[in-house]
Chains A and B, each alone.
Chain A
Amino acid sequence: MTEDEFDAFYAAAFPRLTGQLFAFTGDRGEAQDVVQEAFVRAWDRRHGLQADGAPEAWVRTVAMRLAVSRWRRARRWLELVRHSAMPETTPGPGPERTALVAALRELPEHQRMAIVLHHLCDLSVEQVASETGAPVGTVKVRLSRGRAALAKQLAVDEAEEPAWREGGRVG
């Protein structure tokens, strides 16, 4: 991958990846940071990425792992500061407070990642399993539970007009 090719890839993929990472993190600044960092790391591996044929997937995976790592660090730090355990899920800070974002924030980390990869990034269940390192059955369970939790949250927040209704089928 030449410099020009990398620049073109960066310009085209960065906004798209930032949007996907926003759905995952709930924070646009955080999404930009992790995507930026993933692209810096991608430059060193540009030849291998081109050979793999899926550079955007690689950058997205790295960015998501970075986001997870940052969440965990932040949670540990907050636990230390507050001297108390954090809630099970970690809502990321951000100006966007849409119902869907708020509901996504309530999801456990694994469920949120599965939902975003499968329903937003259009990865199959097998691909999600490959990316997350979890068995296919586990991914299916996570997707099902995640959708159920989202439906419940959105039903509570937007009882009159929910953003979507659970009724789809994984696969």
Chain B
Amino acid sequence: MSDELATALHELAEANQAPPPLPAAEVRTRARRRSRRRRTTVRLGLATSVAGMLATIGLTVHAEEPGRDPRAPAGSATIGTSTSSPRAPGAATGRPPGTEEAVLDLGRHTLTFDGRVMRVDPHPSGTLLSPGRELTVRAKHEVMLLRSDGRAGNRRGAEVPYVVELRTGDRPPVYAGALVPDTRSLGAPGARTGWLGLGIDDARWFYTRIRRGEHVEIVSPAAPATPAPGPDPADGPDPETGTATSRPPA
């Protein structure tokens, strides 16, 4: 090793030593600040990546299953997939009228709408509630007087709240409304009329959310002898016979 060169370099280095321009505390502060910034950047990057992945997955799933209601929960996702036709996904609000939004599963006794699965007591009449048929919301009655026929022994009828009137073309109506104690005195809404009994809360919610012109798709055949698991069938009108007349909401 060259001692002369080493000596010259040491002298040069010693002559040009400089004190720290910053105190050590400031160095630590800078390091911590930089570390925090790095972590924040990593978190933001991860969040962006996750959001992108979720968006991609969502788009992929919807692209693969165009007939599936995007708002339906996982448990009810299979209800309408077997027979439902493709339909445009819509948001809970702002969906165009006339788009098919609700699914009535007669076999499961459920009415699924806007992500909510409601237990329903269906009383089909004839072919009014045939699988594959599509019902359209024609009217909504806050309170409706359902009148039974003479055979039921009750001509007074019953006031049923939150009734949604559904029809297919010019066919007789199917009413979806609340089963209340007052309907016990009701014999039947009519031989040519279908009836969907809902719990009072579900009926109110369905009445509030569904809009005129929207559709209810019927899937799976009705289970004829199966009692309704939801609302107490004893609370509902007898679907054998009867007529229904509406009156303006109270």
Of the candidates B2, B22, B27, B30, the one having the most CB atoms from chain A within 10 angstroms of its own CB is: B2
Q: How many pairs of A and B residues are in contact by the CB < 8 Å rule? A: 105
Whether A97 sits at the interface, judged by CB under 8 Å, is: no
How many residues in B have their beta carbons less than 8 Å from beta carbons of A? 30
Assess the A11–B5 pair: CB atoms within 8 A.
Answer: no
Instruction: Give the distance to chain B from A27, nearest Cβ to Cβ, in Å.
Output: 10
Q: Are B18 and A116 in contact (CB under 8 A)?
A: no
> Given that A3-B28, A7-B24 are contacting pairs, would A23 and B9 also be in contact in the complex, using a CB cutoff of 8 Å?
yes
Q: Return the contact of A36 from the options B20, B28, B34 (Cβ within 8 A).
A: B20
Q: Contact at B28–A6, with CB atoms within 8 Å?
A: yes
B21 within 8 A of A: yes
How far, in angstroms, from A16 to B18 measured CA to CA in the complex?
8
Secondary structure type dominating chain A contacts: helix
B250 touches A (CB below 8 Å): no
Cα distance A150–B140 in the bound complex, in angstroms = 99
Known contacts: A7-B25, A10-B20, A28-B18. The answer to whether A120 contacts B4 by CB under 8 A is no
Q: Which of A60-83 contact B (CB under 8 A)?
A: none
Whether the Cβ atoms of A40 and B9 lie closer than 8 Å is no
Beta-carbon contacts under 8 Å, A96-137 to B: 96, 98, 100-101, 115-116, 118-120, 122
CB contacts under 8 Å to B, within A138-171, are 147, 150, 163-171
Q: Is the CB of A40 within 8 A of B34?
A: yes
Binary A-proximity of B20-42 (CB < 8 A = 1, otherwise 0):
11101101101110110000000
Which of A6, A32, A100 is in CB contact (< 8 Å) with B18? Answer: A32
Task: For B12, give its contact among A22, A39, A43, A118 (CB under 8 Å).
Answer: A22
One digit per residue, 1 when the CB lies within 8 angstroms of any chain A CB and 0 when it does not, for chain B 38-82 equals 000000000000000000000000000000000000000000000
Residues of B bordering A, CB below 8 Å = 1-10, 12-22, 24-25, 27-28, 30-32, 34-35
